[in-house]
Amino acid sequence: MGDRLGGLSRFLAVRSRRDRTWRGEKRGWASAFLAPALVILVPFVLLPIALTFWISLHSWNMLTPISQMKWLGLTNYSNLLSNPDFRQAMENTGVYVGIVVVVTVPLSLVLGMLLYFPRVRGRALARTVLFSSYVIPTVAVAIVWDELYQPGYGPFARLFELAGLSAPSFLSSPTTALVSLAAFNVWQMLGYYTVLVVAGLTQIPGELYEAARIDGAGRIKQALRITLPMLRGTTLFVILITIINSVQVFDPVYILTQGGPVNSTDVISYDIQRTAFQYGLAGQASAEAVSLLIVLAVIAIVIVRFMRRKA
């Protein structure tokens, strides 16, 4: 009996050493494959973030050498709480992101299912056409939409007139300017999110739908009982990407509204640019950027943990 126990203990010891060796080799290979990405990540991502945080602790107008910055500590961060422009920018950003997420995510789910399930010709062409709005440069699209929104002769205004309604001042009214920018974002990014949904649909086993059809489930019940639950991870990922892309909106604001009218479209990304380059307050702008990064990181962590829990 003692010989058997001794042999078992030696076997377990050898196996434990092999497992440690295998885990060490696995970490080594992982580090080797990650090294090229880290070479790019550190100088082009991590160092700029660290420099931005360092600048946020100083007062600097960017017209003087960076060595002449004045140390302020957390003063720039405390000033943000009492800055009405920053609060307005955060509120506008929240409203803008909310509109885009509420409209884009359901539409991308519906369009994704319509482009994936019907076995008809032309599905690939429809996906390409829908995705084309995403690959067109934002500046070019914004110039076109500026003409579409023009009062009097713009196509949207003409449609309202043909319907016997008075056309709203899309970009020149504080009540409609932010919604008009959100509509622009939905149109441009919808194809990208729809492609993500289609990619998620390809991961659902077809056997589930066959079993559901045998049990007599129709299209609607299959979508509610199989498609949407199985797409939960993809949906959360689309929500996360939508939030990040919406928070980063800058080009349409800069081209179409310049933050107006009456700061109604002054979103946080545009406010950071204006504070740094127009007002010359690089320290305050860096504090805004770091605060935005923290908010996005918290949102990303919450959504990722929720995705893992559901998985």
Going from the C-alpha of 126 to that of each of 79, 123, 296, the distances in angstroms are 50, 5, 33
List beta partners, residue 105. none
| 7 lies in the same domain as 89 | no
Q: For residues 174 and 230, what is the distance between their CA atoms, to the nearest angstrom?
A: 41
Q: Is residue 70 part of a domain?
A: no
Distance CA 195, CA 253 (A): 26
Query: Residues 19, 125: one domain?
Result: no
Q: Looking at the domain assignment, is residue 128 inside a domain?
A: yes
In a domain, 97, yes or no: yes
Cα atoms found within 13 Å of the Cα of residue 145, Cβ hemisphere only? 26
Domain identity same for 111 and 210 = yes
* Same-domain check for residues 19 and 95: no
Burial 94-120 (b: 16+ CB within 10 A, else e): eebbebbbebbbeebbebbbebbeeee
| pLDDT at residue 8 in the model | 47
**Strand boundaries in the chain, DSSP class E:** 58-59, 70-71
**Angle at which helices 84-116 and 177-201 pack, to 10 degrees?**
40
Q: How far apart are CA 274 and CA 254, in angstroms?
A: 10
Domain assignment of residue 263, yes or no: yes
Task: Give the Cα separation of 146 and 28 in Å (integer).
Answer: 54
Signed CA dihedral, 158, 142, 185, 172: sign only: negative
CA 256/CA 259 separation, integer angstroms:
9
Whether 144 and 17 share a structural domain: no
Number of structural domains (the chain) is 2
Residue with tokens 């076997």: 11
* pLDDT given for residue 5 in this prediction: 46
Q: Is residue 75 part of a domain?
A: no
240 CB neighbour count, 10 Å cutoff: 19
Per DSSP, what are the bridge partners of residue 59?
70
Residue 62 lies inside a defined structural domain of this protein: no
Domain that residue 109 falls in: 82-310
Q: What CATH number is associated with residue 142?
A: 1.10.3720.10
d(CA 286, CA 79) in angstroms, rounded, equals 13
Are 98 and 218 in the same domain?
yes
* pLDDT number for residue 11: 47
Query: Do both 7 and 134 map to the same domain?
Result: no
Measured CA to CA, the distance from residue 299 to residue 64 in angstroms comes to 36
- Please check whether residues 102 and 158 belong to one and the same domain: yes
From first to last of its 311 residues, what are the pLDDT tens digits of the chain?
545 545 545 544 555 566 566 665 667 666 677 677 777 777 778 888 899 999 999 998 887 888 888 998 889 999 988 889 899 999 999 999 999 999 999 999 999 888 887 776 777 787 788 888 888 888 888 999 999 998 878 888 888 888 888 888 889 889 999 999 999 999 999 989 999 999 898 888 888 888 888 888 888 888 888 888 888 888 989 999 999 999 989 999 999 999 888 899 999 999 999 998 888 899 999 999 999 999 989 988 988 888 777 65
